[in-house]
Chain A
Amino acid sequence: MKLIVSLWRILKFALQNISRNLWLAFTTLTIITLSLFSLSSLYMLNTLTNEAIQAVKSKVDISLYFKPEVSREQILKIEQDLTAFEKVKDVTYVSKEESLEKLRDRFKGDVSIIESLSELESNPLGDTLMVTAKDTGDYPDILDYIDSQKKYAGLIQYRNYEDSAHVIERITDLARKIKKAALFISIIFVVIVMSVLMNSLRVAIYSHREEMGIMRLVGATNWFIRGPFWVESILYVLISSILTALILFPIMTSLDPQVALLFGSYHFRLSEFYSAHVISLWLKLFIGTSVLSVIATSMAMRRYLRV
């Protein structure tokens, strides 16, 4: 019973501290909200970067052009083989008819090519398999696998990987560098934001330093003194994290058209991603920052409780 009474009093004192110190509460709340907004924006920027890399990677594939005389059944058997290979994400079959159609479509403005194609009695193109890897780094292994399969020998007329190998290598390298840089910048940014946040809480505690000494002299235990300040800092974080989550909604929606232009046919919308992840993002922000603020508050209070 006494514990419940004490907990109720701690909550009451915390709310009193906020309501009777509105200016300090407003300042602290603003700083924490800006800090959390910066962290969330950084997270969304990282997501955007990763998605952009993913979008570029998704454009890369290996095209296997089969000789015209290779039967559809043989190709579908190879498609099954490749689909079963662990590093392959997807295999798409494109028939020689579709290939010819695509060729006509691609060169529809070039009369000489269109006329040449009409002159031909039969379709000179073969069927094609487009192979996508789970990771761009897996393409060499997939090629090794294809080369090692004796049953494929003589069936493939041409494969395009060598043409795009250099591009894939550069994309993979660039993605690795971007991720490293993003991690480095994120760590520095998080450290800066966290120190700002911790210092704003320290200032709030500093303004109460004399009260803590008085409370000790009147017979309050340390946890009875700390309690309201812990609750106060958690309330600040709770309000700030909710505000941050709400502020980000319209911002993400307003960025959607620009992001859609950037990604083209690759489907990625910031607002959709944010809506799907807002709860987990909010929980991470709230729990992480609450723990940090309780630690910062306790550290700041320690020296004032030595009475």
Chain B
Amino acid sequence: MVICKKISKVYNGGFHALKDINIEIEPGEFVSIVGQSGTGKTTLIKLIIAEERPSHGSITIGDWDITDIEQYEIPVLRRQIGVVFQDFKLLPRKTVFENVAFALEVAGERQDKINTIVPQVLKIVGLDHRMDHFPTQLSGGEQQRVVVARALVHRPKLIVADEPTGNLDSINTRDTIDLLRKINDLGTTVLLVTHNREVVNALKKRVITLEHGTVISDQKKGRYLL
């Protein structure tokens, strides 16, 4: 599903965020990428969603080599990946329904299909009764569930979650992770970036550990090492 071959990312001033990373993620896998702050976890996510480009190496998503992806192809790539952000990134002037629907609207989906799918997905994340509310009227946990619904609504083969529990309390953290696990059980590949030890240990899934921009461990049923 995701193949990173010898990728490095060097920022201005010669700072190496990632050095010679080799990662291969199979379709349907649930992979946690862990590591302390500044080890390159978020940089790796940015490379996968083409927010940044690698300095060296290649990245393939599905059968698509996105290493030198053209600017006009980026929206097409992002419509195939669901992204969950730590800071939610919801559109503040759109309702819950409109935020989730937006991911379909950008892809030109028909309105009747949107009107059918969006309430179903909101029901899955338990927010069908909050469809007409604005993000500011929701709690942090509810906002994160809207983000998961938005990431899910266009049925992507890959969901990338960058510290999705970073701004949540323990109950909401558990709910969000349970949701990601359910999505994974339905066949979607999940790439979870976190430094939450409890979450990683409870998952008992594959864990890739990064340190100083390099992979120091890759365990099939791993635990939080650091």
Query: Using a CB–CB distance below 8 Å, which chain A residues touch chain B?
Result: 2, 5-6, 9, 16-17, 20-21, 210-211, 213-221, 224, 307
Q: Of A2, A213, A217, A224, which is within 8 A of B78 by CB?
A: A217
B interface, how many residues as a size bin? 20 to 34
Q: Of A9, A213, A214, which is within 8 A of B105 by CB?
A: A9
Q: Is the CB of A219 within 8 A of B91?
A: no
How many angstroms from the CA of A171 to the CA of B90 in the assembled complex?
67
Q: Is the CB of B89 within 8 A of A217?
A: yes
Q: Chain A residues near B78: list those with CB within 8 A.
A: 216-219
Q: Is the CB of B106 within 8 A of A211?
A: no
Does any Cβ of A come within 8 Å of B129's Cβ? no
How many angstroms from the CA of A217 to the CA of B79 in the assembled complex?
9
Does any Cβ of A come within 8 Å of B83's Cβ? yes
Q: Of A20, A21, A224, which is within 8 A of B106 by CB?
A: A224
Q: Chain B residues near A210: list those with CB within 8 A.
A: 92
Stretch of B107-115, B120-128, B167-175, B195-203 lying at the A interface: B107-115
Cβ distance B151 to chain A, nearest Cβ, rounded Å:
9
Q: Chain B residues near A6: list those with CB within 8 A.
A: 108
Q: Is the CB of A219 within 8 A of B106?
A: yes
Q: Chain B residues near A217: list those with CB within 8 A.
A: 49, 51, 78, 83, 85, 89
How many residue pairs at the A-B interface have CB separations less than 8 Å?
A: 53
Q: Is the CB of B103 within 8 A of A218?
A: yes
How many angstroms from the CA of A17 to the CA of B98 in the assembled complex?
13
Q: Of A2, A21, A221, which is within 8 A of B93 by CB?
A: A21
Q: Of B49, B91, B150, which is within 8 A of A211 by CB?
A: B91
Q: With CB as the reference atom, state the residue of chain B lying closest to A211.
A: B91
Q: Chain B residues near A220: list those with CB within 8 A.
A: 75, 102, 106
Known: A217-B78, A219-B103, A219-B106. A5 touches B93 (CB 8 A): no
Q: Is the CB of B106 within 8 A of A5?
A: no
Does any Cβ of A come within 8 Å of B72's Cβ? yes
Q: Chain A residues near B75: list those with CB within 8 A.
A: 216, 219-221
Q: Chain B residues near A218: list those with CB within 8 A.
A: 78, 83, 102-103, 106, 150
How many angstroms from the CA of A215 to the CA of B49 in the assembled complex?
13
Which A-B residue pairs are the 6 nearest by beta carbons?
Answer: A219-B78, A219-B79, A220-B106, A2-B108, A214-B89, A20-B93
Q: Is the CB of A5 within 8 A of B110?
A: yes
Q: With CB as the reference atom, state the residue of chain B lying closest to A220.
A: B106
Q: Chain B residues near A2: list those with CB within 8 A.
A: 108
Q: Is the CB of A5 within 8 A of B83?
A: no
Q: With CB as the reference atom, state the residue of chain B lying closest to A6.
A: B108
Interface centre among A9, A217, A224 (most CB of B within 10 A): A217
